[in-house]
C-alpha cells in the first residue's frame, strides 16, 4: 500500500475575495512537495485547472520543478485533462519529467470535473466522450510503440513517427481517474489500466459495487491479477486536535466550495454538510 497527497494548487485570496498572483502559491507547492519527500510520502499528484481559483494549469511544469528538489517520491498528475490535450505533447512532457526524476513520473488521465479547457483549446463539448476515448487510445499506443503510426478524428495522423524522449524504464505508468461511472471502469478493466476512484462526496460505501465491477472486468479480460492496482482520492485535512482542525478549516473549505458552486448553481455550503462529510459515512 502507498500513501499519497494530491493537490489542485488552490490559490490564495485577499480580503476582497480576489485571487492573488499565482507565483507565491506555486513556490509554496515546490516546498511542500520537498517536505513530502523528506517525510516519506509515496506519491504526489497535482491537478490541471484553467480557473482563477487554482494556480496550476500545466501539471508537468510543477512536477519537473519538484523533480529537481526530491529524491524518492513519485510525481504525477491528478488529473491530466486528456480530452483537451495533445497525447503526443503530454507523453513527451511526462517522459521528460521521468528522465529528470530518474524514473518517478506517472500520468493520471481523466476527463476532469471542469470544462474550461475545452473552449480554451478549441474543442467542442459535444465530442466529450469521443475525444477521451480516442486520445486515451493514442496515449497508450505511444507508450507501447516507437515509432508509431496512427490515424484518428481529432488530430493529424502519425506516420512512422518517434515520440521522444522515451521514459527511463521504457514505459510510463498510466492510471485512469474515475468519478463514479460504470463506463469509465469498463474501459479501464478492458484495457488493464489501474484506476483511481475520486470519492469527493457522498458515502464511500457506494463505490464498493463499482470497485467489485472493475475487479471482475479486469480479471475476465485476462489481465494478470498480480498487477491489479487501485487507489482512492478523498478530501483530507489533518491536525492534532480534530475539532480545532475542523473549526479552523471550515471557512476555507466552504469558501472554495461556494466559488465552485456559484458556477454550477449549488446552494451555499453549510456546516451540516461539512460535518456529515467528516462523519463515519462521509467522504472526508
Burial class (CB in 10 A: 0-12, 13-18, 19+), 154: middle
pLDDT at residue 96 tops 90: yes
pLDDT in tens, 226-262: 999 999 999 999 999 999 999 999 999 999 999 999 9
| Mean pLDDT, residues 121-148 | 97
Q: Three cell numbers at 56?
A: 496550476
What integer pLDDT is reported at residue 112 of this predicted model?
83
**What is the per-residue pLDDT across 179-200, written as a single tens digit (0 to 9) for each?**
888 988 999 999 999 999 999 8
Report the interhelical angle of 87-100 vs 59-67 (nearest 10°). 10
In this structure, of 71-80, 151-160, 196-205, 210-219, the range with the lowest mean pLDDT score is: 196-205
The answer to whether 56 touches 48, Cβ cutoff 8 Å, is yes
Q: Which residues pair with 178 in a beta bridge?
A: 197
Question: In sequence order, which ranges of the chain are alpha helices (DSSP H)?
Answer: 22-39, 59-67, 87-100, 117-120, 128-144, 182-191, 208-220, 242-264, 271-278
Q: What percent of the chain has pLDDT over 70?
A: 100
Phi, psi (degrees; rounded to nearest 5) at 160 = 55, 45
The C-alpha cell of 272 is what?
451540516
Give the pLDDT band of residue 110 (cuts 50, 70, 90): very high
C-alpha cell at 70: 526530491
Name residue, grid cell 481517474: 177
Report pLDDT for 202: 87
What does the alpha-carbon distance between residue 107 and residue 173 come to, in Å, rounded to a whole number? 6
Give the pLDDT confidence score for residue 129 in this predicted structure.
Answer: 94
Look at the block and give the residue holding cell 479486469: 218
- How far is the CA of 41 from the CAs of 67, 201, 240, 251, in angstroms? 14, 24, 18, 27
Residue 107 is predicted with a pLDDT of 98
Residue bearing cell 458552486: 261
pLDDT of residue 113: 84
pLDDT of 63 over the 90 cut:
yes
Residues 18-27: what's their mean pLDDT?
94
Q: 196-226 pLDDT, tens per residue?
A: 999 988 899 999 999 999 999 999 999 999 9
Please tell me the pTM assigned to this model.
Answer: 0.95
Distance CA 209, CA 90 (A): 32
Q: Going by C-beta distance under 8 Å and a sequence separation of 6 or more, which residues neighbour residue 38?
A: none
Q: If you average pLDDT over every residue of the chain, what do you get? A: 96
Summarised one tens digit per residue, pLDDT across range 23-60 is 999 999 999 999 999 999 999 999 999 999 999 999 99
276 grid coordinates: 456529515
Q: Which residue has the cell 513530502?
A: 36
CB 44 within 8 A of CB 36: yes
Q: Phi, psi (5° rounding) for residue 108?
A: -115, 105
Amino acid at each position: 500500500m502507498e500513501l499519497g497527497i494530491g493537490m489542485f494548487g488552490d490559490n490564495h485570496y485577499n480580503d476582497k475575495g480576489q485571487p492573488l498572483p499565482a507565483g507565491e502559491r506555486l513556490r509554496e507547492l515546490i516546498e511542500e512537495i520537498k517536505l513530502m519527500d523528506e517525510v516519506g510520502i509515496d506519491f504526489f499528484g497535482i491537478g490541471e485547472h484553467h480557473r482563477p481559483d487554482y494556480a496550476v494549469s500545466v501539471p508537468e511544469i510543477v512536477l519537473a520543478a519538484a523533480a529537481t528538489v526530491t529524491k524518492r517520491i513519485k510525481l504525477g498528475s491528478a488529473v491530466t485533462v486528456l480530452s483537451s490535450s495533445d497525447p503526443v505533447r503530454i507523453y513527451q512532457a511526462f517522459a521528460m519529467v521521468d528522465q529528470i526524476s530518474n524514473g518517478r513520473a506517472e500520468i493520471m488521465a481523466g476527463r476532469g470535473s471542469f470544462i474550461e479547457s475545452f473552449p480554451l483549446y478549441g474543442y467542442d463539448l459535444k465530442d466529450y466522450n469521443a475525444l477521451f476515448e480516442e486520445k486515451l487510445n493514442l496515449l497508450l499506443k505511444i507508450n507501447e510503440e516507437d515509432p508509431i503510426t496512427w490515424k484518428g478524428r481529432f488530430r493529424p495522423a502519425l506516420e512512422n513517427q518517434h515520440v521522444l524522449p522515451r521514459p527511463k524504464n521504457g514505459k510510463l505508468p498510466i492510471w485512469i481517474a474515475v468519478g463514479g461511472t460504470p463506463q469509465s471502469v469498463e474501459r479501464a478493466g478492458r484495457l488493464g489500466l489501474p484506476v483511481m476512484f475520486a470519492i469527493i462526496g457522498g458515502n464511500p460505501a457506494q463505490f464498493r459495487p463499482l470497485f467489485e465491477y472493475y475487479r471482475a472486468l479486469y480479471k475476465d479480460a485476462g489481465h494478470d491479477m498480480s498487477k491489479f492496482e487501485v487507489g482512492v482520492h478523498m478530501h483530507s485535512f489533518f491536525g492534532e486536535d480534530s475539532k480545532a482542525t475542523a473549526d479552523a478549516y471550515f471557512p476555507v473549505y466552504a469558501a472554495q466550495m461556494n466559488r465552485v458552486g456559484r458556477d454550477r448553481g449549488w446552494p451555499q455550503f453549510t456546516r451540516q454538510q461539512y460535518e456529515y462529510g467528516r462523519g463515519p459515512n462521509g467522504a472526508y
